[in-house]
Copies of this chain bind each other. A is one copy, B any other.
């Protein structure tokens, strides 16, 4: 069923026996520890529970199921308490994290363990928060994945290699659960790759044939345990079609390259500077301290800010060729490549409709004698040409309009306390060098792969 190539890949990505034993033993011990507490039941979820983890993965998800008689506050308090207790008993380094509820992340014996309190509900329609759904996912997959484990591993590795693995906000790609559903629905890796190579809009995957809601997302995968949920809601169109392209490439020219994650290239400041000169455009970076919150909160705010600032620039007449954002450990950047960075002193402004007598009179008397041209009538409206407020993009970005343009909440806070507007080469720093490399090269997975082959 799998090609020789895929079999070779599997020997590399299938967990070794020792690795398997170690991780399952660790999982058992943690589950037992929860059970022994007497207040909650332990359950291993995620890829370890389903035995669909790729060799080398060290993630271990331990859920602590509380009865629904506990209040939300009790759950949080007792859940966190128990998680801390267990992590401490196992000598873990503890970090408190937050999804819909707080939970504990701990490094235990080299494993990245999440200890997550949730409610033990009887069926998925009674969940009180998203985490309560996870045990149902695990049960659903565990009961069906038998015989498809290798297929899931191949798909996970393939997705990692083309940068589509991960349903976090930064990646906007496939969750592990989504990979498992794909494999179940299409009946294996090869059949799924064939299907994905022909992806187009309005594809609906509904294993249980129980869809109970319409979605506008690029790909709709109805959750087998919840007919009103799209498992692929966090998948962006760009990632979806990048994956499709990669699948096409694999079908026409299968090779090991499709299973090897490419190393992130970094651009040097010198080369960055040269590439900008070659392009003839102007780069503007809005750089500020990274807010102390997880990427899943900050990254969407960065994206929103990029859209807002692009709007601000374009409303003021500056054409944005491309824009993107990056969240580094230390600093974040909103990056804008402009086709024009300065504009003439005049700016045309639309006034009222001519038959709006009151406003027309106001408009004329306000502007008469203070314009480069006008007030004049064109078609049914007044216009004037006045002094442009921001003839320079730099001045515009330095102005208060930036802060008022609709940045995300935490981005705005950080922008207000500490901001640098950088131009061209100044946008570069070590932390951004991979991001800037990607921004400048900007190539789809298959184009990138083909180009590298050509250059060999």
Give chain A's interface residues, CB within 8 Å of chain B. 197-201, 218, 237-238, 241-242, 244-245, 248, 278-281, 317, 319, 321-322, 339-340, 343-346, 348, 354-355, 357, 360, 364, 368-369, 372-380, 382, 385, 391, 440-444, 446-447, 450-451, 454
A344 touches B245 (CB 8 A): no
Q: A-side binding surface: helix, strand, loop or mixed?
A: mixed
Given contacts A319-B317, A346-B321, A368-B454, contact A442 B238 (CB under 8 A): no
15 new A-B contacts at CB < 8 Å, known A279-B385, A322-B348, A369-B451: A197-B357, A238-B379, A241-B377, A245-B360, A278-B345, A280-B343, A280-B345, A281-B344, A340-B343, A368-B447, A368-B450, A369-B454, A373-B443, A376-B442, A377-B444
B280 touches A391 (CB 8 A): yes
Closest residue to A279 on the B side, CB-wise? Answer: B346
In the assembled complex, the Cα of A380 lies from the Cα of B380 at a distance in Å of 38
Given contacts A317-B339, A339-B343, contact A201 B380 (CB under 8 A): yes
| A241 → chain B closest CB, angstroms | 4
**Chain B contacts of A355 at CB under 8 A?**
198-201, 241, 244
Closest residue to A348 on the B side, CB-wise? Answer: B321
**Chain B contacts of A375 at CB under 8 A?**
443-444, 447
**List of 6 A-B pairs having minimum Cβ-Cβ separation, nearest first:** A280-B344, A200-B355, A373-B442, A241-B354, A280-B345, A281-B344
| A391 → chain B closest CB, angstroms | 7
Closest residue to A454 on the B side, CB-wise? Answer: B369
**Chain B contacts of A364 at CB under 8 A?**
444, 446-447, 450
Closest residue to A364 on the B side, CB-wise? Answer: B447
Residue in contact with A245 in the complex, picked from B280, B346, B377, B391, CB distance below 8 Å: B377
A373 touches B447 (CB 8 A): no
In the assembled complex, the Cα of A377 lies from the Cα of B199 at a distance in Å of 14
24 cross-chain CB contacts under 8 A? A197-B357, A198-B355, A198-B357, A199-B354, A200-B355, A201-B355, A238-B379, A241-B379, A245-B354, A245-B377, A248-B357, A279-B344, A317-B319, A321-B385, A340-B343, A364-B446, A364-B450, A368-B450, A369-B451, A373-B441, A374-B447, A375-B443, A375-B447, A382-B444
Residue in contact with A451 in the complex, picked from B281, B345, B368, CB distance below 8 Å: B368
| A104 → chain B closest CB, angstroms | 38
B281 touches A346 (CB 8 A): yes
| A385 → chain B closest CB, angstroms | 8
In the assembled complex, the Cα of A356 lies from the Cα of B76 at a distance in Å of 50
B444 touches A237 (CB 8 A): no
Query: Which has the most chain B C-beta neighbours within 10 Å: A201, A441, A447?
Result: A447
Query: Which has the most chain B C-beta neighbours within 10 Å: A237, A348, A354, A357?
Result: A354
**Chain B contacts of A372 at CB under 8 A?**
278-279
A443 touches B344 (CB 8 A): no
**Chain B contacts of A373 at CB under 8 A?**
440-443
**Chain B contacts of A279 at CB under 8 A?**
344-346, 372, 385
**Chain B contacts of A201 at CB under 8 A?**
355, 380
Closest residue to A345 on the B side, CB-wise? Answer: B280
Residue in contact with A344 in the complex, picked from B200, B238, B339, CB distance below 8 Å: B339
| A22 → chain B closest CB, angstroms | 40
In the assembled complex, the Cα of A355 lies from the Cα of B203 at a distance in Å of 12
